[in-house]
Amino acid sequence: MEYRQLGRSGLKVSALTLGTMTFGGKGRFAFVGRTNAADASRMVDMALDAGVNLLDTSDIYSTGASEEILGQAIKGKRDNVLIATKARFPMGAGPNDAGLSRHHLIRACDASLSRLGVDHIDLYQVHEWDGLTPVEETMAALDSLVTSGKVRYIGVSNFCGWQLMKALGAADRAGSARFVSQQIHYTLEAREAEYELVPISLDQGLGILVWSPLAGGLLSGKYRRGQTPEEGGRDFAGWKEPPIRDEARLYDIIELLVKIGEEHGTSAAEVALAWLLRRPAVASIVIGATNEAQLQTNLKSVELSLTDDDMERLNSASKLPLLYPYWHQALTASDRLGAVDLSLLAQYLPL
């Protein structure tokens, strides 16, 4: 297993993180998976045996059941693992049972500590933007959790560029704890993070954690042009995470993943994960699984070394259109672009 520094922090995390959204399978999360406590314990052991040291969950996953099951699975192993969880989404029907207010975050953290059965959370992440709470209040609340010892590091998930910079600015002005990571959706099919979020990570020293790196199974290789997967057909028009705007482009990417996988004697899923591991600022990829065989396949992705030619073919097939103001910068500012700018624009020069 490879270990990477998480942003500018001194914390080292495994290149793969075990995600636990499938643990519990309650409510709307039953669609993702129904991993029970016994199976979850075996998956955690498999991940630890492979060198994984970061386990990621959230209070909202199966309304707390994921945290409870993870807590049971790590009993006697706490010193060998880093625990990441999140808060923001509704955990009750009350008007203050959601959001990033001081009131909700401190209560949510205490509840997560109880469900996990631990005395601290290694990485506490705000799960989504809250446009009603002043960002200064949110960052101050997170800082109080750090100074109290309940939380070691803080991270963010699903913010856009201006929201992220506003939060970092608030922390810097107050001299308080700042985010060391951001957990984002980033795949060959969905590369929008390269416009703003990846450059911000490079500029501000944030480690990227990638959620749903196979786009909910889209890039696993089981969905092929003109073929019906074993579990039945799939209507991509109703697929929301990520939304599929160009089905032809998606199938082109999948076919290339399968082809490169065959060239390396491996799976399309492993190729998709290996591509992510070579992207700028990516610290760790959050992998989940509905069964042990699927988890074993995903764990093998760290062993795959893609060639520069492989990367070029994958990049070309998945390249996004250059939006404004980036196309204008590529046309008129190429003489004074820095390394962060070039993380996006280099592939488009010269226009």
Active site residues: 61
- Altogether, the residues listed in the chain come to a count of 351
Tokens (6 digits) for 14: 């495994």
3-state secondary structure of 76: coil
Cis peptide before 242 (omega within 30 of 0): yes
Residue 181 CB-density burial (10 A; 0-12 exposed, 13-18 middle, 19+ buried): buried
* Biggest distance spanned by C-alpha atoms of the chain: 59
Block residue for tokens 């109703």? 238
Give the integer Cα–Cα distance in Å for 150 and 43: 26
Tokens (6 digits) for 221: 């290789």
The string of DSSP codes covering 95-139 is TTSSSS-HHHHHHHHHHHHHHHT-S-EEEEEE-S--SSS-HHHHH
Residue 140 CB-density burial (10 A; 0-12 exposed, 13-18 middle, 19+ buried): middle
Torsion of CA 106, 112, 115, 117, to 10 degrees: -90
Cβ within 8 Å of residue 95, ≥6 positions away: none
3-state secondary structure of 285: strand
Block residue for tokens 């016994």? 38
